[in-house]
Structure 1
Amino acid sequence: MNTLTLNAGRITALGRSELTLLVRNRATLTLALLMPLMMVFVLRSSLGDSEGAQAVGEATLTGGIGMVLLLVVHMNLVSSYVARREELVLKRLRTGEASDVEILSGTALPAAALALAQIAVLTVAGAAVLDVATPRNPLLILAAVLAGVLLLAALSAVTSSFTRTVETAGLTTLPLFLASVLGSGMFAPVDSLPDVVASVCELLPLSGVMTLVRAGWSGGAAGGDLLGAGLTTLAWIMISVFAVQRWFRWEPRR
């Protein structure tokens, strides 16, 4: 890769171009924008006045944050990277002044901004509609979400390297999606699983992020658990960045 330099102006310009392409895809944009509110209202209608609604509401909102990260950042970005690669956009951009990091960051910028906006709406509207207590530590949630965006953006670039076409992106993103939904504690803490399974699931890419999100919302997590979650997330970010440098494809697969 080229020198790891960053220029805010170039990243913003690339992000603006990517945003224009995203806006033109009305179906994807509409679904992405409406997903958080749809999730909140569907859950509200299904919960009724059942006991434990507070706990279920918190679990749904924290899980919803994970879903937004997976659907808006990971799945959307894999398709974007593959499409720009196959259209030779990445190859042309690489011949200009922009560094590799700026190109990848600019492409990811609209998806990251959209995910942050959705999570903000989900947090505020969800807490109001579901009558759930507001987060105890919003800064911890923000730090976890930003780390999740960075991690999934890097993982998206890695996944795109093994994705031949935009049509097959749904298949290559499925393993991480299923592993995260089932094993990363998105809707239930990992420690509720059997010991051996829990030990493995704690090492999944999104497990650390979700532990931090839940701790930021409801509190009660031990310092050691938070440290472990932070280190796991940091380790996956470093692994993902290394994998991008090693395997990311800038030209179409032949």
Structure 2
Amino acid sequence: MVVRDTAGLVVPLGLPLLILVMNGLGDGGGEVIPGTDGRTVFDVYVLPLTLTVVVAMVGVVNMPSFLAHHRRSGVLRRLGVTPAHPAMVLIAQALVGAAQTLLGAAVAVGVAVAAFDATPPAEPLRAVALLVPVVAALYAVGTLVAAVAPTTNAAVAIGLVLFLGMGAGGGMFGPRENLPDPVATVGEFLPFGASVEVLGAAWVGTPVAAGHLFALVGATLLAGAGAARFFRWS
């Protein structure tokens, strides 16, 4: 069902790639940041932001719309009379989304390295490992949206509001330092902002702040529990 939805496949890959290219062609992306072993603004800020956008687009917008469509079209109602547990359905959809996310991340990093001479992460395995809590947190938010949204349009609307709201506070539309201090602080510890910070640290090879990891784990547990509690078959 996901493969048949052309827009659902293209948009989560195309939009982050557009953000990556526009930032790569803009001024200032090639400036080297002191103390990062020669890494540039593009490496430390743009790439982590792009990867977070990929995960958030798939997890918070795309996945809930698919699940809401399954509910609306009666697919979930038919599954409800089988031994399938709601968690099985949510996990299956999350795994499909994870495959889509890995594809989007691979495309983004490939274009960044080939077209803009981006530097790979200082510790690639650590960066991949830190991508796990990022995916878990944003996907948990998406499953909560899917659990409560009554229709496909509602799921898309709620997902977009959350995506844009978290993105605005997390630096998607400009440096977080330009935001009012209370907004910047809250945005830093929402799943989007915390994800950018975690992936940025992974790219440079510096220790990840415990507060950012706690924020991701907390979002995963709270949103995941809410999704399992409020999930409806029809």
Give the TM-score, by structure 1 length.
Answer: 0.77
CA apart distance, 1:232: 1.1
Q: Is 1:179 aligned with 2:170?
A: no
Pairs within 5 Å for 1:64-213: 64-186=50-172, 190=176, 193-213=179-199
Q: Which of residues 206, 218, 221 is equivalent to 2:204?
A: 218
Cα distance in 2, alignment partners of residues 144 and 186 from structure 1: 20
Q: Which runs of 5+ in 2 are unaligned?
A: 33-39
Q: How far is 1:150 from its partner?
A: 1.9
Give SS of 1:173's match. Answer: helix
Conserved in 2, the CA contact under 8 Å of 1:90 and 1:250?
yes
* Count of residues in Structure 1 that have an aligned counterpart in Structure 2: 227
1:144 to 1:94, Cα distance in 2 relative to 1, 3 A: farther
Q: Specify the SS of the correspondent of 2:118.
A: coil
Cα distance in structure 2, aligned partners of 1:250 and 1:229: 34
Distance 1:184 1:98, change over 3 A: same
| Amino acid of the structure 1 residue aligned with 2:3 | V
Percent of pairs with identical residues: 28
The 3 A distance-change label for structure 1 pair 185 and 23 is same
Give the root-mean-square deviation of aligned CA atoms.
2.6
- Structure 1: which 4+ aligned runs deviate by more than 6 Å? none
In structure 1, the residue matched to 2:5 is 25
TM-score by length of 2: 0.83
Question: Is this contact kept in 1: 2:170–2:176, CA < 8 A?
Answer: yes
- Contact 2:13-2:54 at 8 Å conserved across structures: no
| Partner secondary structure for residue 168 of structure 2 | helix
Partner of 2:231: 248
Structure 1 residues not aligned, in runs of 5+: 1-20
Tell me the residue number matched to 1:18. none
Contact kept, 8 Å, 1:33 with 1:118, in 2: the verdict is yes
CA distance in 1, matches of 2:220, 2:123: 23
Q: Larger radius of gyration, structure 1 or 2?
A: 1
The question of whether the paired residues in 2 share the 8 Å contact of 1:140 and 1:212 is answered with no
Secondary structure of 2:3's match?
helix
Partner of 1:167, secondary structure, is helix
Letter in 1 for 2:6: R
Distance in 2, Cα, partners of 1:236 & 1:50: 31
Q: Which one is further off, 49-58 or 107-116? A: 49-58
Alpha-carbon spacing, 1:27–1:52, altered in 2? closer, same or farther (3 Å):
same
DSSP 3-state at the match of 1:135? coil
